[in-house]
Amino acid sequence: MIKSLLIANRGEIACRIIRTARAMGIRTIAVYSDADAKALHVRQADEAIHIGPSPANESYLVGEKIIAAAKESGAEAIHPGYGFLSENADFAQSVIDADLIWVGPKPHSIRAMGLKDAAKTLMSEAGVPVTPGYIGDNQDPKHLAEQADEIGYPVLIKAIAGGGGKGMRKVDNPDDFTNNLASCQREAKASFGNDIVLIEKWIESPRHIEVQIFGDSHGNVVHLFERDCSLQRRHQKVIEEAPAPGMDEATREAVCAAAVRAAKAVDYEGAGTIEFIADGSDGLRADKIWFMEMNTRLQVEHPVTEEITGVDLVEWQLRVASGEEIPLCQDELSINGHAIEARLYAEDPANGFLPSIGKLDRYCLPDEHIRVDSGVEETSIISPYYDPMIAKLIVHDIDRAEAIEGLLDALQGTAVWPVKSNAGFLYLAANSSQFKSGDITTAFIADKGDSLIPPDEPDTEMLGQAGRHLVEQYSNRNYHNRANELLEGFRLNQSQNTKLNLQSNGILYTIPKVPDFYGNTYSSADYADGALITKNGNSFSIGLPQYISSATGTASDGAILSPMPGKIIALEISEGDRVTKGQKLLTLEAMKMEHSLTAPFDGIVSSLNAALDEQVQVDALLAQIDTEA
C-alpha cells in the first residue's frame, strides 16, 4: 500500500483526498501557489510545498514543479484530483518515468479517450452507440459549415480536447455558425492548447447520463451505476444525482454494460466516467442513449455515487494504484436510496453569473444530515485565478423526494457574504415543480430563464427580520436612543403600523410594518454595524442608514467597466467607432470563462482604454460610449 501521497491539486478535491488518505494512514503532501499559501488544503496536509506564482500555468499546470515537489517530499505517489493535469497523458508518463506511482489510468488509456474524435471512432468499433455528427481532419471553417448544413441544425460545436463545457457552442442556424466556431476554437485553444473541433447533431430533449466505472491491473472492470447530470448551465453541471430519475432496470443494464465495454476497449485502470447523451422525449430508452466522451479521472460529482453505493472511490483509487484488485465484484454492488449534489459557486446570478471574488466574511453551511465537501472556510479568500467553486452540498436519503427536501433545507440556511453565491439560484432550481417531477433536460435552466434568478434586493419580510435583529442588537449594547431614533415607533412584539428606516447595498428602504415573528426560513447574524439576513440561500447585509455604505458603486451611463480581474482576449472596437445597443465590444477571460461586454445604447466609442491580451482589474474603465450629439 502507498505510504505517502502528493496531491497535485487544490481546493475541495485536495481536502477530499486528504480525508481518505489520512483514514488509511497515508502521509499527505500538498502543493500550493502564492494565492493558496493560507488555503485549507495546505493546512490539512502533513506537509506542503510551494510551487510558484498564482496563475495556474505558472504553478499547478507545471508538471516539472509537481514532480520536483514529490521528490523533495519523499512522496511515493501522485494523485492528480480532477482538472489541471489529471487527464494529461504526458504528465502521467512523466510521473511513471520518475519512478513514482500515478494514481490514475495508464497514459495510453488517457490518450485513447483524450480526443473526442478518436474516442468516438474507438467506441463505435467496440459496439458502443455514438452520437451522429462529423469527425474529421478538415478544419477549414467553410468545410465545417458545410458539414453542419448536412447534419442539420441545430448542431453542437465541440472541442475534441478537454471538457467542463469549455469550447462548446450550440448553433441554431447557419448565420451564427462562423462566429460561434471562432469563439469555440479560441476558448478551446486557451483552455486545452488545441482548437480542433467536431460537429454533433443537437439532441432534442437531451439528458446527460453518465456511468461510473472502475478497472484494475488484473483485468477487472465494474460499474457503479449511473448519475444524471442534466441540470447544467452553459454546459457546466450544477446539480447532479444518482440514480437517474426514470431509469428502469433494463435500460440501466444496457447503458452500464456499454460503459463497461467502453472501459475494457482501452484497457482501463482506476476511476473513470463514461458520459452519454440521451433523447429523453419518450423517457430513457437504451436505443436513444449515445456515447459522448470519457473522463479519465475522478469526477466532481463522484460523491453521489459514493453515497448510494457505500464505496469510497478515493480509497479504491489508492488501492488499485498500489496493485490491489477492485475490492468488490459487480454482484456485490447495489443502489441504496438516492443522492443529490449541488455545486455552490462564488458567482452572482443577478449579474449574469459573473464570478465573485474576495474574503468570505460569512460562510455558514449546514453541518447536520448532509455531506459538505469544501476547500474553504470563513475568512478564506476566493481568488480570480481558479474555478470559483466554494463547496459541494451532498444529500442522501431513502428516495429522491426526501433527498430533494433535504437539499432545500440545506440551501435555506446557506449564508455566504460579501462574496456572492449561487445558493439562492440552486434553491429555486431544486424547488421547481419540474425538477421535483424529474422532467428535466440540459435545457432546463435556459428554459426557466429569469424565474431561477433570485431577487437582488431584500423583500419586506427580510427587512422586517433585520429590524427586529437590529433593535435587539442595539438594545443589548445599550444603544436605545440610536435604535429608537432610526426605527421610528418600532418596538419588539408590537403589532400596529410602524415606520422602519433601513439601508442595504446603498439603497434606502422605508417599510410601514414589521412582522412580530421570526420566519423559520430566515437566519440572521451580526455583520459590521448591521445584520446579515439569509432566506432560501439569498443573503443581504441590512443596517441603519448612517452605518451601512454601498458595497458597489455605479458608473455613469456609457462607462464600460471590467466586472472582475481578467484578460482581454478579443477586442471588437476602436476609438471613434459607432456602435449599436447590444453590440459586442470586447471579451474578457476570467476564471476559465469568457465574458462579453456589450454596448448599453447606440453611440460612439469616445475613449478606449483596453488592449488585446491586457490584464485588467475589477472596475477598470475599459471604454466610454457616448450618445451622438
Q: Could you say which DSSP state residue 103 is in?
A: S
What whole-number distance in Å separates Cα of residue 45 and Cα of residue 29? 6
Q: Mean pLDDT check: name the lowest of 351-360, 386-395, 441-450, 532-541.
A: 351-360
Residues 24 and 73 both lie in one domain = yes
Residues 353 and 254 both lie in one domain = yes
Residues 510 and 421 both lie in one domain = no
Residues 168 and 266 both lie in one domain = no
Q: Could you tell me the pLDDT band of residue 489, with boundaries at 50, 70 and 90? A: very low
For 162, the domain range is: 133-201
Structural domain ending residue among the three candidates 406, 429, 452: 452
φ, ψ of residue 140 in degrees (nearest 5): -60, 130
What whole-number distance in Å separates Cα of residue 103 and Cα of residue 26? 14
Can you tell me the mean pLDDT for 511-516? 61
The Cβ of residue 138 has, within 10 Å, a number of other Cβ atoms equal to 10
CB 326 within 8 A of CB 214: yes
CB 126 within 8 A of CB 259: no
In a domain, 500, yes or no: yes
Q: Which amino acid is at 311?
A: V
Q: Could you tell me the pLDDT band of residue 119, with boundaries at 50, 70 and 90? A: confident
- Percent above pLDDT 90 for the chain: 64
CB 603 within 8 A of CB 579: yes
The domain spanning residue 159 has which CATH number? 3.30.1490.20
Give the total number of structural domains in the chain: 5
Question: What's the half-sphere exposure (Cβ side, CA atoms, 13 Å) at 626?
Answer: 8
Residues 291 and 364 both lie in one domain = yes
Q: Mean pLDDT check: name the lowest of 45-59, 116-130, 223-237, 249-263.
A: 116-130
Residues 521 and 406 both lie in one domain = no
In a domain, 211, yes or no: yes
What whole-number distance in Å separates Cα of residue 202 and Cα of residue 173? 12
Residues 485 and 516 both lie in one domain = yes
pLDDT at position 593, please?
A: 66
CA distances (Å), origin 322, targets 86, 99, 368:
18, 13, 34
The tens digit of pLDDT for each residue in 175-185 reads 999 999 999 99
Q: Mean pLDDT check: name the lowest of 71-75, 283-287, 348-352, 493-497.
A: 493-497
Residues 311 and 213 both lie in one domain = yes
CB 366 within 8 A of CB 409: yes
Residues 326 and 420 both lie in one domain = yes
In a domain, 554, yes or no: no
What whole-number distance in Å separates Cα of residue 346 and Cα of residue 422? 7
Structural domain ending residue among the three candidates 201, 219, 248: 201
The domain spanning residue 372 has which CATH number? 3.30.470.20
In a domain, 607, yes or no: yes
Strands (DSSP E) contained in 421-577 are: 500-504, 507-511, 522-527, 530-535, 538-543, 559-561, 566-571
pLDDT at position 37, please?
A: 95
CB 227 within 8 A of CB 244: yes
Residues 501 and 530 both lie in one domain = yes
The tens digit of pLDDT for each residue in 413-470 reads 899 999 999 999 999 999 999 999 999 999 999 999 999 999 999 998 888 888 888 8
CB 544 within 8 A of CB 529: yes
pTM value is: 0.81
> What's the chain's length in residues?
629
* Residues noted as catalytic: 297
In a domain, 271, yes or no: yes
What whole-number distance in Å separates Cα of residue 297 and Cα of residue 166? 17
What whole-number distance in Å separates Cα of residue 59 and Cα of residue 91? 14
In a domain, 480, yes or no: yes
Q: Is the dihedral of CA 10, 11, 16, 21 positive or negative?
A: positive
Strand-strand pairing, 354-355 and 584-590: unpaired
Residues 388 and 292 both lie in one domain = yes
Structural domain ending residue among the three candidates 510, 543, 576: 543
In a domain, 114, yes or no: no
Residues 196 and 233 both lie in one domain = no
